[in-house]
Structure 1
Amino acid sequence: MSETTHDGGIAVSAAPGPDEGLSPAELAAKYGLSVSGARPGLGEYVRRLWGRRHFILAFSQAKLTAQYSQAKLGQLWQVATPLLNAAVYFVIFGLLLNARRGIPHEVYVPFLVTGVFVFTFTQSSVLAGVRSISGNLGLVRALHFPRAALPVSFSLQQLQQLLFSMIVLFVVVMAFGSFPAWSWLLVVPALVLQFVFNTGLALVFARMGAKTPDLAQLMPFVLRTWMYASGVMFSIPAMLQEKDLPAWVTDVLQWNPAAVYMDLVRFALIDGYGSEYLPSHVWAFAVGWAAVAGVLGFVYFWKAEERYGRG
């Protein structure tokens, strides 16, 4: 298309292109473009996360191997650390404070060691989750992958560490008279449910820690308080029966997720720890806590997917 100018020349103008007048959103829709780093739909996000399952497993194994690489005892610290904690708690709570009342003497040591190992599983998963995004910003900013892979990988790392420690736990339990039985198989569903619960918590605190890195400094105090309220070193019903407290206080403490998963593993492994020590509907609470934490934690993390590593 052409037209004559005022000085007799001819000006040539191009015909309108097929995209002229389209808004950026319309152009993107026309050519199938999307915003870089935009959050995918929940179903698509799950599919992408599953596609990175080999990376998640390899990353967790690498972190586990590197965790104690500078220590002379190496991976033995995975077992030595919770065992030393259990020894300290036995001296302070079992001997000095007599926190073992309500628990038979021959049962208290495996009761305590089991509680320490199982609670440490949750504690370590949460602490690793808090730092999973803020402590790996280089990886987050350099590569494109579902960010949930990081807290899930750290939770998987803690599960592998616990499974390594369970060998020692089995030895301790047998040393005090509890030998392998069919009930030991209950440890598997109990730990699977706890892993789902831990992963949900790790996802929640990963998002919070990405926005507020100082949360990592606060969480050890929160987790220590949770430990003391969960019956790691004592039986909750036996400890509270001497207090003039409403019955619902004991129920609430026994129904908290850390206490639920500890009680299930204790019930499975320790002969002298019978069903009378368990709260009512304990398996329903174990499933419920895992479902609520796992689903809500995953959705809560996914909703901030496009914000991780920004700023």
Structure 2
Amino acid sequence: MSQALHTPPATTRADTATAPPPTQRDLAALAARHGLTVSGARPTLPQYLRRLWDRRHFIGAFSTAKLTAQYSQARLGQVWQVMTPLLNAAVYYFVFGVLLQTKRGVPDYVPFLVTGVFIWTFTQSSILAGTRAISGNLGLVRALHFPRASLPISFCLQQLQQLLFSMAALLVILLAFGVPPALSWVLAIPALVLQFTFNAGVSMIMARVGAKTPDIAQLMPFVLRTWMYVSGVMWSIDHLIARHDSLPSWIGTVLQANPAALYIDLMRFALIDSFHASQLPPHVWALATGWALLAGVGGFIYFWKAEETYGRG
């Protein structure tokens, strides 16, 4: 006696065709039920800040390693950290101070010039390094998962460390040219903090731009050179405004409100006793703080918004 076998009816192609495909909401609910997240998705801003803080030791170690390796192939090694800005200052002194006579009417012109060159170099080098922070480190970006803002911030920290080496030489120059130590030297600390915040913000902006358009790195030296010439690195903005009464008033206002000029003048005011408060623009500390917050906060948010795109394409 044979036993009847009952099998379920076979699923036909028509039945499969009529089954609705899962929606995005169904898939999202399924992923959430099993604890899955989108790979490479941009974290929220608080999460991003926490992750960046967790990588603070990496940022410090990376910047120090880059600084050490920068002149590792040179015979004089780290001496070039001080020699490079000093040689630039010597060239600018000959061209602008001697040939163009921009030193006329500027007391302590050598300390005035060297301070301007050192502080400007900090901004220039930070922005140039930030422009290549992503595009020049694609191997690292694609190989490891970490907040990408770590790279432009670490490059700015590298330039700050290099500036601190240069500041030791600057203090020797100040003393050699008869500028006495003063309590106002302490003001150099908040000025550097504000400048570092500004530099880091602009570097993050340029890092995002450079990640999408690598050719911008070739253009930036020309942009920065133009910015340097209008920032009072080799000449006094205050004396220019005083000597040229025919200039429209808005030109003097724009020159004085230039963030690079603000940080240079704040450092000169802190370190050089012949550079008086009357030579500073009105509300100089408020302007310097405003530029730092605008660039620092705005640049960080601008960079964070494209976090998931870096290293792709």
TM-score under structure 2 normalisation? 0.92
Structure 1 contact 126–202 (Cα < 8 Å) conserved: yes
Change (3 A) 1:247 1:102: farther
* Aligned partner (choices 44, 47, 59) of residue 44 of structure 1: 47
**Equivalence for 1:192:** 193
* Partner Cα distance (1:31, 1:11) in 2: 31
**Equivalence for 2:204:** 203
SS in 2 for 1:241: helix
Asked whether 1:163 is paired with 2:160, we answer no
**Equivalence for 2:8:** 11
**Equivalence for 1:284:** 286
Asked whether 1:55 is paired with 2:52, we answer no
**Equivalence for 2:116:** 115
**Equivalence for 2:267:** 265
**Equivalence for 2:247:** 245
**Equivalence for 1:17:** none
Structure 1 contact 99–239 (Cα < 8 Å) conserved: no
**Equivalence for 2:18:** none
* Partner Cα distance (1:50, 1:295) in 2: 16
Q: Match for 1:245: what amino acid?
A: L
Change (3 A) 1:268 1:25: same
Q: Match for 1:119: what amino acid?
A: W
Percent same amino acid at aligned positions? 67
* Partner Cα distance (2:301, 2:10) in 1: 53
Q: What does 1:77-156 correspond to in 2, within 5 Å?
A: 77-104=80-107, 107-156=108-157
**Equivalence for 2:227:** 226
Question: What displacement does 1:248 show?
Answer: 2.1
Question: What displacement does 1:271 show?
Answer: 1.2
Structure 1 contact 49–146 (Cα < 8 Å) conserved: yes
SS in 1 for 2:8: strand
Structure 1 contact 267–273 (Cα < 8 Å) conserved: yes
Structure 1 contact 103–235 (Cα < 8 Å) conserved: yes
* Partner Cα distance (2:243, 2:236) in 1: 12
C-alpha offsets along residues 261-291 of structure 1, whole Å, 9 cap, x if unaligned? 0001101111111112111110111111111
Structure 1 contact 131–216 (Cα < 8 Å) conserved: yes
Question: What displacement does 1:12 show?
Answer: 8.1
Asked whether 1:30 is paired with 2:72, we answer no
What do you get for the CA RMSD once the two structures are aligned?
1.7
Question: What displacement does 1:13 show?
Answer: 8.7
* Partner Cα distance (1:70, 1:12) in 2: 77
Question: What displacement does 1:241 show?
Answer: 3.5
Structure 1 contact 117–162 (Cα < 8 Å) conserved: yes
* Aligned partner (choices 255, 258, 263) of residue 256 of structure 1: 258
C-alpha offsets along residues 113-138 of structure 1, whole Å, 9 cap, x if unaligned? 00000000000000000001000000
Stretches of structure 2 lacking an aligned partner (at least 5 in a row) = 12-20
C-alpha offsets along residues 14-61 of structure 1, whole Å, 9 cap, x if unaligned? 9xxxxx967212212222321101000000000000000000000000
TM-score under structure 1 normalisation? 0.93
Structure 1 contact 101–239 (Cα < 8 Å) conserved: no
